[in-house]
Structure 1
Amino acid sequence: MQNWRAITCAITKAGRQLRWQDAVAIFSQIYKPNVILYNATITACGRSLAWRASLALLSELRQVQQPDVKSFGAVAAALRRQPALHGLLLEAMAEERVRPDAIVASAIATSCERASLWEAGLQALASIERAELDVVAVGTIASTLAKGARWAEALLVLQPLKPNVVLIGAVISACERAHRWTAALELLHQIWEEGPQPDTMLMDSVLRACGRGLAWEAVLSVFYAMQNRLLRPSAIGLSAVSLALGCGRQWVKMLHMLEVMARRRMAADVSALSMGLEEAEQRQLQATETKLLRSLAHTVPGLHGLTRHSSRTNESKTFTCLKNEECLVVLGCVHVCPLERFLTCVPV
């Protein structure tokens, strides 16, 4: 009488040690193995990405017994670097009348995301019952769509589920890449009303989406709304605001924002810094130009020598302003304003 439990443990141990050949050797010595042993061996092969062996075992299992959803889930994991074969796997599941579960869906979605195959991800999503999908699987597919700037499809992904912040962030990222800032704003207003509550990362995505659309007024609207909700943007979000203001020729606001970032030791976007430097030079704002040069030198490796160009500026005025930690330096003038409230002090 065969000790099924001991054999299964031996196969599982070999798989965890990435010795899939040993797992197959143990399996081949078993007389009439059951589905559990097949699944354990397929999983062992999958850990080592031995997908051909996994497919061969599944084919053998289909000839002698009825594979279950765990069998197909193990094969899906083995095929995580072979996204082109997922369609055949789903066809085999349909032939065996086995419904894909969340594990199968997540494995297929992850594989498609890594290969940036948004079409394959959508096909897999369409072939799987929505009730069997979880937020992780749908979020992974949404992330794949974001890489392909498929914003319309990404919005459709949200319909069957109650989304979380990660899923909504992936959809907004798709809107950003497709320059659909209005769709990103609509989605933001929707989650403000229905939930979940957005975090800083999600709000930064909305800022970038509006910035890419050159909608500087929308950028400022979102920017102020963050403060009302006690959300402070990151360097990425502030850079998006600065760049949008520059593209909208709102130079005073842009230079103010860049100086705020410099005081907070945040690395601004190089494009925004370059635009700000050009404007500061044209307006002969020497103190501002000095600080932006320093920020650029710290942002781009190897450009520390840029600060040497500040010798032609009025250094004493700049340093006098910088000594006052309770003030904001705006275009060389000191405006008394606590840093915590800097968003409400942008000059009109």
Structure 2
Amino acid sequence: WQAALGLLSDMPQRRLAADAISFSSAICASESACRWELSLDLIGHMFRLSVHNTVSFNAAISALGSCSQWRLPLQLLRDMSSRSACRPDEISCNAAISSVQASHWPFAIATLSHMQRLRLLPNLISRNAVMSSLSEVWTLAMNLLREMREIREGPDEISYNAALSACGRGGQWRAALALRSQMPAVPDHIGYRAYAAALERSSAQQAVPAMLSEVTNAWLQRVGSQQSQGSAKNVETTGDCSLSIKAGQTRPIFELKIELDWK
């Protein structure tokens, strides 16, 4: 980021006019170093030079969100909405929604509604970003997933994983089980880990055998070698033996099984 900022500072001496692309590049560099204050300074400097545009605002919103500054991206989005020179687009709103943390999920939903007032069509990225913010309110996550099924651009693996994660945090193993049965494809390791968390937090011991069997079969399908089959059987045996132990102690087995050459 220091090199990018140095090049930007040297442009006047070289009789070069910095434009929106130059500033946007410097803002992106500040994001990689999590220097969100620098992003705001650059946006302010762009205003003074009247070279700001939507791309530069989007870069700043993304940079601020990456540094866990969730209020500032929403403020920048409001500033964009009040300026005719750089109206927000889908990328602006998606970046602002993605910056919202789970404890502030109402702001994510409000931003999704704000998109419609701006006559912007929320897409799958928009809804997945809102879904991720609902990790602590599983009922709303499930409602949003139902809404996504009714539109043309339905939920994808990220959507289902986020909903499973919300069920896991809430210890709603029956909801997680129902959701798993509705998924059009086999979950990846992220989905299975969220599913396991739901079983663990709710002490749903009766659902553990099916979980272990399903993960084993899915893992064997992905790996497919004789050596992997032997390893998976050993892990499953360990999992079966753990059923006599309280549910809270089954988590290491879940994580071991999910991580074994899954990626």
Indicate if the aligned counterparts of 1:101 and 1:132 stay in contact, CA closer than 8 A. yes
Bigger Rg over Cα: 1
Tell me which residue corresponds to 1:274: 196
- One-letter code aligned to 1:82: A
Q: Distance in 2 between matches of 1:257 and 1:168?
A: 28
- Return the match for 1:291 from 214, 230, 241: 214
Tell me which residue corresponds to 2:137: 215
- Return the match for 1:234 from 153, 156, 160: 156
Structure 1 pair 312–116 and aligned structure 2 pair: CA distance change class (3 A): closer
| 1:84 positional shift | 5.0
Structure 1 pair 162–297 and aligned structure 2 pair: CA distance change class (3 A): farther
Q: Distance in 2 between matches of 1:182 and 1:298?
A: 40
Q: Distance in 2 between matches of 1:112 and 1:227?
A: 38
Structure 1 pair 298–219 and aligned structure 2 pair: CA distance change class (3 A): farther
Summarize the alignment of residues 174-323 of structure 1 with structure 2, pairs less than 5 Å apart: 174-176=99-101, 179-211=103-135, 214-261=136-183, 264-269=185-190, 270-276=192-198, 278=200, 282-284=205-207, 286-295=209-218, 305-306=231-232, 309=236
Task: Say which structure, 1 or 2, has more relative contact order (CA 8 Å, 6+ apart).
Answer: 2
Summarize the alignment of residues 87-98 of structure 1 with structure 2, pairs less than 5 Å apart: 88=9
- CA deviation map 1:197-255 (0-9, x unaligned): 122122111111111xx111221222122123233222122111011112222221111
For structure 1, the residue ranges without an aligned partner over 5 or more in a row are: 1-79, 314-348
Q: Distance in 1 between matches of 2:62 and 2:221?
A: 32
Q: Distance in 1 between matches of 2:199 and 2:181?
A: 11
Tell me which residue corresponds to 1:155: 74
TM-score norm. by structure 1 comes to 0.55
Name whichever of 198-207 and 280-289 sits farther off: 280-289
For structure 2, the residue ranges without an aligned partner over 5 or more in a row are: 81-85, 241-263
Q: Report how many residues are paired.
A: 226
Indicate if the aligned counterparts of 1:216 and 1:245 stay in contact, CA closer than 8 A. yes
Structure 1 pair 172–86 and aligned structure 2 pair: CA distance change class (3 A): farther
Indicate if the aligned counterparts of 1:216 and 1:244 stay in contact, CA closer than 8 A. yes
Structure 1 pair 82–150 and aligned structure 2 pair: CA distance change class (3 A): same
**Does 1:165 find its partner at 2:86?**
no
**Does 1:82 find its partner at 2:3?**
yes
SS at structure 2 position matched to 1:129: helix
- One-letter code aligned to 2:21: I
Indicate if the aligned counterparts of 2:124 and 2:154 stay in contact, CA closer than 8 A. yes
Indicate if the aligned counterparts of 2:20 and 2:46 stay in contact, CA closer than 8 A. no
